[in-house]
């Protein structure tokens, strides 16, 4: 497997408080990696480092190596709009724009100057199909994205990312606000996408990690404790802390 994203010795501080204490994690191209660990261990903080979303939080300092396809994510010359197209993010609460489904999915393409209606139509269909929500919205593309269910909105948000053909999709607890059926649909969608995209997901749901992730990283108190194939980690963890967490002794 080739790593598409390599991180080394990642430290992050919010003001004077260090939240990440030197994380090394490499992500294989394609496939799903889950980040797990108890509340406050730094999963979301680490995830946000990967497309520089923490830049938006004042007094945040990040150090370490972030190598994405040979490029330094934190180089002063990095174009953040371009970076976040290549490494897109899906949040806990579905956050479609208050526009139609069509306008949501074409947003990024129109921003980069695409106007050809046939091309946009094709991309809308491709993206919504890949996000497994096409059949549910195809007759209502001009309806507000906000008029759909939470699960459908989340898949529309995934389609909005897919329209600009990212390399990596970051997901921060994407199903925690959804009902079990919608969560299962998102999991199925992610499993279908993993052959084409590199997916990194923060989840509190250990069953979810075990169902969908090829690899899992277990974090604790701002440190990476263990990183391995999910099948190995969930059956034969190397570290006592991992075993205790997976067995519900804390969390």
Ligand X SMILES: Nc1ncnc2c1ncn2[C@@H]1O[C@H](COP(=O)(O)OP(=O)(O)OP(=O)(O)O)[C@@H](O)[C@H]1O
Name the nearest CA neighbour of 94 among 36, 9, 152: 152
Token pair listed for 116: 């050809």
User: What proportions of the chain, in percent to the nearest 5, are helix, strand and coil?
Assistant: 40, 30, 30
Q: Which stretch binds ligand X (CB under 6 A): 42-50, 67-75, 152-160, 174-182?
A: 42-50
Does residue 42 touch ligand X according to CB under 6 A? yes
Least distance (Å) between residue 9 CB and ligand X: 18
Using the rule CB under 6 A, is 191 a contact of ligand X? Answer: no
Write the interaction track for ligand X spanning residues 16-35; mark x where CB under 6 A is met and - where it is not: ---x----------------
Convert 56-77 to b/e letters by CB count within 10 Å (16 or more is b): eeeebebebebebeeeebeeee
Q: Is 185 near ligand X (CB under 6 A)?
A: no
Told to check if 174 binds ligand X by CB under 6 A, we report no
Q: How far apart are CA 202 and CA 172, in angstroms?
A: 5
Q: Is 37 in the site for ligand X (CB under 6 A)?
A: yes
Q: Counting contacts by CB under 6 A, is residue 234 touching ligand X?
A: no
In the bound state with ligand X, the residue whose beta carbon lies nearer, of 114 and 204, is 204
Instruction: Single out the residue of 130, 178, 139, 137 nearest to residue 158, CA to CA.
Output: 130
Q: What are phi and psi of 14, to 5 degrees?
A: -95, 105
Q: CB-wise, 40 or 142, nearer to ligand X?
A: 40
The count of residues interacting with ligand X (CB under 6 A) is 12
- Report if residue 218 touches ligand X, rule: CB under 6 A: no
Residue 45 interacts with ligand X (CB under 6 A)? yes
Q: Provide the strand spans (E) within 139-240.
A: 168-172, 198-202, 215-220, 223-229
Sole residue written with tokens 């059949």: 135
Per CB under 6 A, 39 contacts ligand X: yes
Which is closer to ligand X, CB of 45 or CB of 242? Answer: 45
Q: Which residues bind ligand X (CB under 6 A)?
A: 14, 19, 37, 39-45, 57, 204
């Amino acid at each position: 497997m080739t790593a598409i994203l390599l991180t080394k010795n990642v430290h992050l501080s919010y003001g004077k408080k260090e939240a990440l204490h030197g994380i090394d994690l490499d992500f294989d191209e394609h496939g799903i990696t889950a980040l797990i660990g108890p509340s406050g261990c730094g999963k979301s903080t680490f995830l946000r480092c990967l497309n520089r979303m923490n830049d938006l939080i004042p007094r945040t300092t990040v150090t370490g190596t972030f190598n994405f396809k040979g490029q330094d994510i934190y180089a002063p010359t990095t174009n953040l709009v371009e970076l976040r197209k290549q490494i897109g993010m899906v949040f806990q609460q579905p956050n479609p724009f208050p526009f139609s489904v069509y306008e949501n999915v074409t947003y990024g393409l129109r921003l980069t100057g695409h106007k050809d209606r046939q091309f946009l139509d094709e991309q809308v269909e491709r993206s919504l199909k890949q996000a497994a929500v096409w059949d549910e919205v195809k007759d209502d593309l001009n309806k507000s994205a906000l008029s759909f269910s939470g699960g459908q909105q989340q898949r529309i948000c995934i389609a909005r990312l897919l329209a600009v053909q990212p390399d990596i999709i970051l997901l921060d607890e994407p199903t925690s606000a959804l009902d079990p059926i919608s969560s299962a649909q998102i999991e199925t969608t992610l499993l279908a996408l993993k052959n084409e995209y590199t997916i990194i997901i923060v989840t509190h749901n250990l069953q979810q990690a075990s169902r969908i992730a090829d690899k899992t990283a277990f974090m604790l108190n701002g440190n990476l404790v263990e990183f391995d194939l999910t099948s190995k980690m969930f059956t034969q963890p190397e570290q006592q802390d991992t075993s205790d967490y997976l067995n519900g002794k804390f969390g």
